[in-house]
Amino acid sequence: MAGKNEPGKLIANNKKAFHDYFIDETYECGVALHGTEVKSLRMGKCSIKESYVRIENGEVWIYGMHISPYEKGNIFNKDPLRVKKLLMHRSEINKLVGKIKEKGFTLVPLEVYFKSGKVKVKIGLARGKKMYDKREDIAKKDQRREAEKEFKVRMKV
């Protein structure tokens, strides 16, 4: 079992979020789950690629987080795409509401993982990237890849 400071078992991550957004801050939230959803998550059946986070009436909700129905479950399985409540402190929610009102900020889910036996979601306060920012990132990745390839070639010789 993972300790207090150690990261737990990663269930799902959202690589597309890092491609489409600049992540300014990250927050860790709990998730209100029902019945067999935790068993399904333990088997790694989760996707957050198309999901997003909203704050409504002072509560944080995640939309589009797909948790596949548990295979051995029966009538207790819930809708895979149901809206799930994220658990955060009131002060954090108020801080996020203030920042989201600023132009260009949004909340995106970054990771779903287990920490001390509990399911956690890491959400990021994000600003959207422009097309030229994405091209710059791709160019930097290509340069880094080329340098690593060149370094490997030198090491073999």
DSSP string, 77-126: PPPTT--EEEE--HHHHHHHHHHHTSTTEEEEEEEEEEETTEEEEEEEEE
pTM for the full predicted model: 0.72
The class that CATH gives domain 10-129 is: mainly beta
pLDDT (mean) for 79-95: 84
Q: What is the largest CA-CA distance in the chain?
A: 63
Cα separation, 157 vs 66, whole angstroms: 48
* Amino acid at the residue 151: F
Cα separation, 123 vs 31, whole angstroms: 12
pLDDT tens digits along 13-71:
888 777 778 888 888 888 888 877 888 888 888 888 888 888 888 888 888 888 877 77
pLDDT tens digits along 128-147:
777 766 777 777 888 888 88
Helices and strands in the chain, H and E counts: 4, 9
